[in-house]
Amino acid sequence: MKLDIHPIGYSFAAQVRQIDLREGIDLQTAQAIEDALARFGVLVFSGQPINDDQQQAFIEHFGPPSLVQLAELKTAKSAHPHFFDVSTVEDDGSQIDPHSARGMYLRANLLWHTDGSQAQPPMRLTVLSARCLPAAPPPTEYADMRAAYAALSTERKAQIEDMQVEHSIFYSRSKMGMKMSDWTPDAATIRPPVIHPLVRTNARTGAKSLYLASHASHVVGLPVETGRALIEELTEHATQPRFVYSHAWQPDDLVMWDDSWTMHRATPYAGSEPRVLRWSGVREVAPV
Ligand SMILES: [Fe+2]
């Protein structure tokens, strides 16, 4: 089927209309969605009151769903092996303690990041399904890392072309005050740091993009502080308003994005009404 696509950002992001994901999609539609992701990076499917089985069936069209094993994220309500909840509340409806391991872990979503860059292979696609929203939900912001790379000077592109960056979940979470004692004892063993290129080339489009995240700790071969300063500078460059799409959540939105050439972040929310976004995703098939 041909998708009904409407661009909604400056250089990327689009809304997909006239589709009901509860009915499932066929191979042709899945291919059209892949094509749209390669062009737009972020796709908004509005009015999709899906359940877990429908979300799972949808994501399976794009690859094996990623397992979610982090003890810090799992609750009885989000015990599904492939889901977790980007949530403001515990299962009993009480606010998540911002100083608990779960609270600190989720609060790091306020930092610009790319899902799963701390793993090898990293995430390729993410799907968030709005299951519960407050009256005025905080937007989620997305950055177009392809446009950001294209806007760099020739000299800067040449300088960073072959750089490799170490990513670590413990680095991003330390920015929120998480200490190693806040993690399960085996966390350091099962989540070692990984190395990814700073510049990625999209296999489908051939376009280059920056690959950054809050997990990006330092540049391999450079003094740590020098590499960190470069990562911060590039992150600031890539998240200028001209490269950003801000998504204002509506009830039953499903947002899907390509993690290989976009970054995103949550924005602060001080209200007490619950917000639950159900997360699932697909990894790259090979190391990056
Ligand atoms: Fe995220």
Reply yes or no on whether the pLDDT at 138 is more than 80: yes
Model confidence at 246, pLDDT cuts 50, 70, 90, reads: very high
Q: Report pLDDT for 154.
A: 98
Distance 161 CA to ligand 1 centre (A): 26
Q: What is the pLDDT of residues 23-35, one digit of tens each?
A: 999 999 999 999 9
Distance 126 CA to ligand 1 centre (A): 8
User: What domains does the chain contain, in order, with CATH numbers?
Assistant: 4-283 (3.60.130.10)
The answer to whether 132 touches 275, Cβ cutoff 8 Å, is: yes
Q: Report pLDDT for 242.
A: 97
Mean pLDDT of 149-160: 98
Model confidence at 73, pLDDT cuts 50, 70, 90, reads: confident
Q: What is the pLDDT of residues 106-123, one digit of tens each?
A: 999 999 999 999 999 999
Distance 114 CA to ligand 1 centre (A): 6
The full length of the chain comes to 288
pTM higher than the cut 0.75: yes
Model confidence at 178, pLDDT cuts 50, 70, 90, reads: confident
Distance 108 CA to ligand 1 centre (A): 9
Distance 216 CA to ligand 1 centre (A): 14
Distances (CA, A) of 219 to 143, 149, 151, 194, 254: 21, 17, 21, 12, 35
Distance 131 CA to ligand 1 centre (A): 16
**End-to-end CA gap in the chain:** 32
Distance 113 CA to ligand 1 centre (A): 6
Q: Report pLDDT for 79.
A: 78
Mean pLDDT of 166-189: 90
In the three-class reduction of DSSP (H, G, I as helix; E, B as strand; rest coil), residue 97 is classed as coil
Model confidence at 182, pLDDT cuts 50, 70, 90, reads: confident
Distance 214 CA to ligand 1 centre (A): 10
Q: Report pLDDT for 1.
A: 72
C-alpha count within 13 angstroms, C-beta hemisphere, residue 204: 13
Reply yes or no on whether the pLDDT at 190 is more than 90: no
Distance of CA 115 to the CA centre of its chain: 4
The answer to whether 277 touches 86, Cβ cutoff 8 Å, is: yes
Q: Report pLDDT for 77.
A: 75
- Sort 202 into a burial class: Cβ within 10 Å, 0-12 / 13-18 / 19+: middle
Max intra-chain CA distance, the chain: 54
Distance 213 CA to ligand 1 centre (A): 10
Distance 155 CA to ligand 1 centre (A): 31
Distance 256 CA to ligand 1 centre (A): 11
Distance 129 CA to ligand 1 centre (A): 13
Mean pLDDT of 175-181: 88
Reply yes or no on whether the pLDDT at 230 is more than 80: yes
Q: Report pLDDT for 187.
A: 86
Q: Which residues surround ligand 1, an ion (CB under 5 A)?
A: 115
The answer to whether 191 touches 118, Cβ cutoff 8 Å, is: yes
- Using left for φ > 0, alpha for ψ between -120 and 50, and beta otherwise, residue 193 falls in beta
Distance 103 CA to ligand 1 centre (A): 14
C-alpha count within 13 angstroms, C-beta hemisphere, residue 209: 25
Distance 106 CA to ligand 1 centre (A): 9
Beta strands per DSSP E along the chain? 4-7, 14-17, 42-45, 84-87, 123-132, 140-144, 164-167, 194-197, 199-201, 208-210, 216-219, 244-247, 254-258, 262-266, 276-283
Reply yes or no on whether the pLDDT at 263 is more than 90: yes
Per the prediction, the chain carries an average pLDDT of: 94
**Alpha-carbon dihedral angle through residues 178, 184, 188, 194, given to the nearest 10 degrees:** -70
Q: Report pLDDT for 272.
A: 86
**β-pair type (14-17, 42-45):** parallel
Distance 105 CA to ligand 1 centre (A): 11
Model confidence at 126, pLDDT cuts 50, 70, 90, reads: very high
Q: Report pLDDT for 222.
A: 98
